[in-house]
Structure 1
Amino acid sequence: MMTGLGLLSAALSRVSVVSSTLSFSVTSIRSISLNTNPLLLRTSACHFAEPLKKKKRLDPQVLKQREERKKKRLEKQIRRLERNARQLKPIEEVETPLKLIDERQIRSRNLPPVSPEEEEQRALLFKEWARYKRDQRISDIQMIDRVVFSQQKALDELRIASESLYLEAIKIDQKLLPFEATGPVRTPAIKGYSVADGDYLDVSKKW
Structure 2
Amino acid sequence: MSVSNIIISLNRLSLQSTLKKAVLSRNISTSSKVQFKATPVLLAEPLKKKKRLDPAIIRAREERRKKKIEKQIRRLEKNARQLKPIEECEVPLTILDERDKRERYLPNLSPDVVEKRATLEKQWSHYKRELHLADLQILDRILFSQQKALDELRKESEELYNEAIQPDFHLIPFNSQGPVETPPFKNYVAPDGEYIDISKKW
Instruction: Give the structure-2-normalised TM-score.
Output: 0.50
Structure 1 or 2: more helix by fraction: 2
Instruction: Give the structure-1-normalised TM-score.
Output: 0.49
